[in-house]
Amino acid sequence: MRWLFSFLALALFCVVNARSFTGSRLLVVLEEESEREKYGVFLGDLESRGFTITTLTPKSESLSLFKHGARAYDHLLLLPTKSKGLGPALTANLLLDFMKKEGNVLLALSAETGTPTAVQSLLLEVDIHIPSDRNALVVDHFNYDSTSAAEKHDVLLLPFPKPARSDVKDYFGGEGVIAVPRAVGQTLGNESPLLAPILKAPSTAYSYNPKDEADIVEEPFAVGQQLNLVSAMQSLNSARLTVLGSAEALQNAWFAEKATLAGKAVKTANRDFAAKLSSWAFKETGVLKVGKLTHYLNEGSSKKLNSSSALPENNPKIYRIKNDVAFQIEVSEYTSTHLTPFELPPNDILQLEFSMLSPFHRLNLSPISQTANSTIFGASFRTPDQHGIFNFAVKYNRPFLTGIEEKRQVTVRHFAHDEWPRSWQISAAWVWIAGIWVTVAGWVVFVGVWLYSAPVGAAVKGGKKTQ
């Protein structure tokens, strides 16, 4: 018993210690061990947030994302390497497999070293596009740092990003400017709903290849707001792939650097941004968790929920048509250390569908109550006049939030033979009921009359004649 307890305590300790919702094992892949120094502050911050960091180079023998078919790490930080390939342990297929098993990837690109082919094809698969030239970088003649890039204008100074829409939660806001030196700009495909930009380039920026002057004149890769400096892809299983255009922005050198923006001296806030970005990328923020999900018959004796005598059966497998049903779902949001009640962004709603082939009901779930670490959303409705196998479905997929896809199958049956109203309760049937009884009474009367009114004379002659 004691060992079990200590084991539990240890497990609890680990859970408390790790700030990420999914685990604390972080693999950092970089060119060589000495590079680690450059990112020392960032990695130190991560370590202080509870991550256990393993640093490996692509050439390392022990580099493998999987062990015994399961993930060996929970998160992967891929810093730029000089080599063109990343070796057999980090192919695009393996990276996708890593994400299929809910591993998160933070991908830092660099215009100086170029992007490895594995990463290129990985990005192509998820419909994120980067310039085909190895050295293309983002240039802006208006928002550059005139201290370090007075000539080249390739160090961008940008404010913290704001949510693109009002119904999206803000996880990357902050005060100050972010320095994005020599970034690889990305464009996002239009088809996939899984992609979201985190940091867009200003409208005056463009992608520029210093090796090929002509290219920019003919057809630039992308310009202005179409160009993203940081973008994110959250797959259906909520594994996150974050693409950071400039790995340099994570380096110690840029974490609190003096810079000049349009003649004004500013201090870069890269450390703050890196913390926010990595905590989102490694699922410390923006993680939703569904707690208890209940539905119950909300009528008759079971309607009095709180009376101890008549607690309704929770989550029954079967309802009847035209039943009053209540549905509740408990949603919490994980923020860095603990679960908090999930609050919907303004202008956004959580919806419940009651569907068979297509939704018969699509209802807004309204917050009913809050516990210490969750919000309970609920709705009640009447099951449709259609029997079949229905699903309670809650689907909530929003940018920067892990998806909620809950489905509970219930059967909605027809009226049983003894659930219809009795005949005398239907006023239109009274005529027919009266008819039945009149016939019965008439028959009895007739029999009586027949028996007692036989003609006396005939009866004497013989009863056979009455036949």
Partner 1 sequence: MAATEGDQFLKQATGPKTRGLLRVIILVLIAGAAVSSRLFSVIRFESIIHEFDPWFNFRATKYLVANGFYDFWDWFDDRTWHPLGRVTGGTLYPGLMVTSGVIYHFLRFLTLPVDIRNICVLLAPAFSGLTAFATYLLTNEMVSSPSAGLLAAAFMGITPGYISRSVAGSYDNEAIAIFLLVFTFFLWIKAVKLGSMFWGALTALFYGYMVSAWGGYVFITNLLPLHAFVLICMGRYSPRLYVSYTSWYALGTLASMQIPFVGFLPIRSSEHMSALGVFGLIQLVAFVEFVRAQLPSKQFQTLLRALVVLIFVVAVGGLVLLTVGGVIAPWTGRFYSLWDTGYAKIHIPIIASVSEHQPTAWPAFFFDLNLMIFLFPAGVYMCFRTLTDEQVFIVIYSVLASYFAGVMVRLMLTLTPIVCVAAAMAFSQILDTYLDAKTPKVDAKTAENGSSEPAKVAAAAVLSDGLRSTRNPLVGIYSYASRVTVVGFSAIYLLIFVLHCTWVTSNAYSSPSVVLASRLPDGSQHIIDDYREAYYWLRQNTPENAKIMSWWDYGYQIGGMADRPTLVDNNTWNNTHIATVGKAMSSKEEVSYPIMRQHEVDYVLVVFGGLLGYSGDDINKFLWMVRIAEGIWPEEVKERSFFTPRGEYRVDEGATDTMKNSLMYKMSYYNYNSLFPAGQAQDRVRNVRLPSEGPQLNVIDEAFTSENWIIRIYKVKDLDNFGRDHHSAVSFDKGHKKKRAAKRKGPKVLRVE
Element (H, E) at 358: strand 358-370
Which among 26-34, 125-133, 294-302, 447-455 is the span making contact with partner 1, rule CB under 8 A?
125-133
Q: Among 126, 277, 281, 326, which residue sits at the site for partner 1 (rule: CB under 8 A)?
A: 126
Measured from the CB atom, is 375 or 402 closer to partner 1?
Answer: 402
Distance separating alpha carbons of residues 327 and 315, to the nearest angstrom:
9
Measured from the CB atom, is 116 or 378 closer to partner 1?
Answer: 116
Measured from the CB atom, is 70 or 460 closer to partner 1?
Answer: 70
Is residue 236 involved in binding partner 1 (CB under 8 A)?
Answer: yes
Distance separating alpha carbons of residues 187 and 226, to the nearest angstrom:
6
Residue 386 main-chain phi, psi, to 5 deg: -150, 120
Is residue 316 involved in binding partner 1 (CB under 8 A)?
Answer: no
Q: Among 226, 246, 251, 328, which residue sits at the site for partner 1 (rule: CB under 8 A)?
A: 226
Measured from the CB atom, is 48 or 347 closer to partner 1?
Answer: 347
Please give the angle made by the CA atoms of 441, 447 and 450, to the nearest 5 degrees: 140
Is residue 212 involved in binding partner 1 (CB under 8 A)?
Answer: no
Element (H, E) at 276: helix 270-281
Which among 27-35, 288-296, 406-414, 428-436 is the span making contact with partner 1, rule CB under 8 A?
406-414
Q: Among 88, 189, 300, 442, which residue sits at the site for partner 1 (rule: CB under 8 A)?
A: 189
Half-sphere exposure of 356 toward its Cβ, with a 13 Å CA cutoff? 13
Is residue 185 involved in binding partner 1 (CB under 8 A)?
Answer: no
Report the chain's terminal Cα–Cα distance, integer Å. 94
Half-sphere exposure of 222 toward its Cβ, with a 13 Å CA cutoff? 23
Q: The tokens of 244 are what?
A: 């950071």
Q: Among 389, 433, 445, 447, which residue sits at the site for partner 1 (rule: CB under 8 A)?
A: 389
Per-residue binding letters, 60-99, with partner 1 (x by CB under 8 A): --------------------------------xx--x--x
Q: Among 197, 245, 286, 378, which residue sits at the site for partner 1 (rule: CB under 8 A)?
A: 197
Per-residue binding letters, 415-434, with partner 1 (x by CB under 8 A): -xxx----------------
CA distances from 96 to 8, 117, 118, 246 (A): 33, 14, 11, 22
Distance separating alpha carbons of residues 68 and 87, to the nearest angstrom:
20
Measured from the CB atom, is 220 or 378 closer to partner 1?
Answer: 220
Q: Which amino acid is it at 175?
A: E
Answer for the pair 310, 367: CB distance below 8 angstroms, yes or no: no
Q: The tokens of 7 are what?
A: 């084991």
Say how far residue 180 (Cα) sits from the centre of its chain. Answer: 29
Distance separating alpha carbons of residues 94 and 305, to the nearest angstrom:
51
Q: Among 237, 307, 315, 336, which residue sits at the site for partner 1 (rule: CB under 8 A)?
A: 237
Q: Among 31, 35, 112, 127, which residue sits at the site for partner 1 (rule: CB under 8 A)?
A: 127
Residue 409 main-chain phi, psi, to 5 deg: -90, 130
Per-residue binding letters, 104-123, with partner 1 (x by CB under 8 A): -----------------x--
Instruction: State whether the Cα torsion 279-79-58-195 is positive or negative.
Output: positive
Binding site for partner 1 (CB under 8 A): 92-93, 96, 99-100, 121, 124-127, 132, 164-165, 187-194, 196-197, 219, 226, 233, 235-237, 239, 318, 356-357, 387-390, 409, 411, 413-414, 416-418
